[in-house]
Amino acid sequence: MRVLITGGAGFIGSFVTRALAAAGHDVSVLDCLHPAAHQPGSGEAEVGGVAIRRGDVRDRDTVESALAGMDAVVHQAAMVGMGVDLADLPDYVANNDLGTAVLLAAMARLRVRRLVLASSMVVYGEGAYTCATHGTVRPAPRDPADLAAGQYEPRCPHCASPLDPGVVDEDDRLDPRSVYAATKLAQEHLAAAWARESGSAAVALRYHNVYGPGMPRDTPYSGVAAIFRSALERGESPRVYEDGRQRRDFVHVTDVAAANVAALDSLDAAREPGLRAYNVASGDPRTIADMAATLAAAMDGPAPVVTGAFRAGDVRHVVACPRRARDELGFAARVPFAAGLAEFAHAPLRA
């Protein structure tokens, strides 16, 4: 297939570009080289031999020109991370949601009817929880007063009892709890509406915590793995928020790229119109403290420091069920946690 990859020069996008090209697809890249992910003035011109067309997905003419002759789009372009503060809100909405809307409208006009959308586990908000008395529940956003007092675990919204965390699957309730999360869910809704109304097929890949070579260094938009890695390179201890026991699923960027290849292949087969979501996760959840300690050991650096600090938009536990992606896409993560972090400890990062 002829495939346009938006954001195809970014951290994840560059791996997706190489993986799709290696799988035999005719790949084009559209990327604005946003300074949150690219060093200003870097002069990037290609990714794995694929030329970068520099342009903004919010510009109709640019997008239509890039879409000419394409069979499918893999939409990676987005602002990511927690950001600095609410002053970032217009940029998140403009880049993530307006950009997606412009892209989808152009795809409808040009009848490009296959889409793979980079979504995120943040659309779930808090993960899955069970109360011994009330069964499956969805806790309310955590109270900053509780967090300041060191009470990090969510409680039952009905009886305030401690909850047992579980795993989220793709049919769980979606409850975004940050600006970034809200924009990612909006992307899914826009893509679903486009797919229904145009008779097209879309896949939303809900990435969990992606790490690997080429992550941007320590910026407000970096993932936690890059933030810890940057601290260790400075000879400093990684600073772990809360008590470090919050759980995530860390998935290597090469596995994420493989999931994109599998998703695109699924669109090449007969598929009903509409959007289908998939968790992209390792299925091997770890605590933040475990990740920090494993990375520190791999870099022979100082041990992590648990700070008790917190961010209001953070959630406590988000652990995924990867079954649907395995059963329907034939995708399963292959990079083990320890081996992936050992490689990441000494891999090059983006300036």
In whole angstroms, what is the distance from residue 346 CA to residue 342 CA? 7
144's tokens: 């900053």
In whole angstroms, what is the distance from residue 174 CA to residue 289 CA? 26
In whole angstroms, what is the distance from residue 121 CA to residue 232 CA? 27
In whole angstroms, what is the distance from residue 56 CA to residue 156 CA? 44
Does residue 4 contact residue 28 with C-beta atoms inside 8 Å? yes
Q: What is the dihedral of CA 201, 13, 310, 279, to 10 degrees?
A: 40
Does residue 31 contact residue 8 with C-beta atoms inside 8 Å? yes
241's tokens: 């928020």
Nearest to 16 by CA among 93, 73, 88: 73
In whole angstroms, what is the distance from residue 78 CA to residue 98 CA? 11
What SS3 state is found at 317?
A: strand
Distance of CA 69 to the CA centre of its chain: 28
Does residue 235 contact residue 301 with C-beta atoms inside 8 Å? yes
State the pairing for strand pair 46-47/50-54.
antiparallel
Active site residues: 180
117's tokens: 């959308």
Write the DSSP assignment of 10-24 as a string of letters. Answer: SHHHHHHHHHHHHTT
**Cβ atoms within 10 Å of 133's Cβ, excluding its own:** 10
